[in-house]
Structure 1
Amino acid sequence: MPLRLPILWRDNLLSTAVSSPRSEITEIPAGAGTNLMPRRMHESYAQVTLPFASDPHLLDSYTNANGGIRTGKIMEHLDSLAGSVAYKHALGPAVESLGSIILEGFYFVTASIDRLDMLQPLTPQDTSDLRISGQVIFVGASSMEVAIKLESVNETTGEEKTVMIGEFSMVCRDAVTHKAQKLNPLILETETERELFHIGKVGKERKKKISLLSLSRSPPCEDESSLIHSLFVVHQPFTDSKGRPLETTPMGNTMLESTALMHPQDRNFHTTDDFSGYLMRLAYEIGYSTATLFANRPLRFFSLDNTTFKLPVPVGSILRLQSKVTHTKSGAANFRSDRHASLVNVRVQADVLDVKTGDKKTTNEFQFTWGDDHTLHKTVIPVTYIEAMEWLEGRRALDVGDQIRKFRS
């Protein structure tokens, strides 16, 4: 998996210092956009196995404080495998290593994640390995949809269980101009492949629709406006399923914040920015801390909702993460109930801070959902209008998650 560029950082700095500015480069090397050989869907398939059953030391390095698996580290691998699948589609199924992007003429970045859904608890077992696999299911002009699956494979019985599924959007960029680069078209040979292609296409269209309906762009619907009015004006009490009042916590009181300096050891393949999987792991871990502190107990991860990587995070910059609980479900009369007694939605905002200028730019907004089957005796409430919009976004995320989990069950 192309987690890191296979050259030393100090050598990269030297080559960067003596290389010509981009404006002086007149010859664009041949890349994905100039050799558009059609590819079959299965040719992009890639998989990686974490051999926990035969390597207890590896298993120990992935075990968290509660005896489970560090999900954030697994997410880092999911993103890396999606990158491997993308390069395999562009360079061909026989590719085994990646050279300089200037020689290849292009590179891939993670544009967005449609969803990541945990289908069952991720717990370590001495007899099971974890297998991460994926392949391209849709190709557009310069972007592709990559389906990723995480499975538990029991070495003793041979039983395989799907633990997590997700869909990543990868975008191809020109190595010199950084503009969109055309991709190899996809050959569809079977009815199953045509169905997968349709799923990927629908997923891409759905992300555009979700973006347009975001409360940062569009006002809330009539029902949501009435709900906010009731919350602030009528002061409708929050109660559980038995009519008992729930303890309310202002949203601002749930916030956690952390900063991290972006080191070159965590850079991605094209060397200038930090690896998106690493950012996802940092966001997951602060989000988990926020949900756990709010619930006063460890919670199980359920899903990561649609998130877009808006801007790169350059090496040497400072990443600031702000996390807070935006919505909760507790089987209360105010919410729709599902088979889980408690659900907690956490929003994590990632900002990149320029060390020299102090400028702040938002790179990502993550929406995570945690929960369990135990009753949650409190809920979060917004105080400001902006928090009210975040509260509604969290409510939407939990409702969508409910529908997906019920459909899959």
Structure 2
Amino acid sequence: MKTTKSYLSRTVEELKPSGIRRFFDLASGMEGVISLGVGEPDFVTPWSVREAAILSLEQGYTSYTANAGLLELRQEIASYLINSFQVAYKPESEIIVTVGASQAIDIALRSILDPGDEVIIVEPCFVSYSPLVVLAGGKPVHVQAAKDNGFKISGDTLKSAITDKTKAIMICSPNNPTGTLLEEDDLREIAAIAKEHDLLVLSDEIYAELAYDGAYTSMAAIEGMKERTILVSGFSKGFAMTGWRLGFVCAPQYIAEAMLKVHQYGMMCAPTMAQYAGLEALRSGSSDVEEMRKSYRRRRNYMVSSFNEMGLDCHLPGGAFYVFPSIQATGLTSEQFAEQLLMEEKVAVVPGNVFGESGEGYIRCSYATSMEQLQEAVRRIRSFLEKNTK
């Protein structure tokens, strides 16, 4: 008789569990831990948004919506994108409401990849990108952003990874875990390479609302790129709606139609009450988003200056709510640093190597927590360094 293990998909069996979850699990059983590991806002979803969801339930809106999502919501997304980022999409045929941005990435990859197709992934990157490429039958090809240039990818590095099997480039701006914001010139360089080699760009823009120092530029807004960009975004980060699991994906109609087929069979539609909440967030949430952005910006400045004062080199991120300081001066690996810091000082951070090999020697710290907690975490990290720096 076959063992249970033999029934598993070899592809799934060979996937590594999320490195982020391992540290959450370690920290969850300890009292007095300050977590700088959580990748979600510390703000509660604004009341007007919660109220809209409650009202939808009271009015009995509990049935399926259209597979692509409420047309009213797609129209509001289209309006939001054109007003905020100067990107025009047709709500009827180019926008799909998804169960979070992660599902949007999943259906995008499964819609464009054939077995063996290569996807260039700029790292350090979010932990799910490579596994999702593998699950879609593709081959992830990792390229390292330049650490001495604020973790931005160089055109030459990108070009060196392209083969005749390359189908797409995956980028995230502002980036998780580094917070790096790709400015218009950076995007133009990537766009020129995509055009030259006839590639798609999958652009994860989930942190677009949390760009701090100037206007945010979407890859789809770059001239000639809308027709070769799959834009992924959602409500989790900018609107403090992580638990609602609401995202969206925008693409040329022929790609959107393919994604909708995958979405239909795998998910049917996003939760109805979450869609009504998203509708309200887009209509009335701009002031809440601005207040959150201001608060994060203050915390970012504090964390960057604190790490640099401690001798841990830390670049100034342009967005998101993460800092990515180097811990190489300690002589510890990323995992050693994170584990010892947790055990000795009860501060949870994420080792940089879980975001790709190029993240070794760094840690990711989320500043999506109160200033009081951040100040205490900094005090504990400073104490840890005094005891452990060579």
Q: Which has the higher helix share?
A: 2
Confirm or deny a common fold (TM above 0.5): no
Short-chain TM bin: under 0.3
The TM-score normalised by the length of structure 2 is: 0.23
Q: Which has the higher strand share?
A: 1
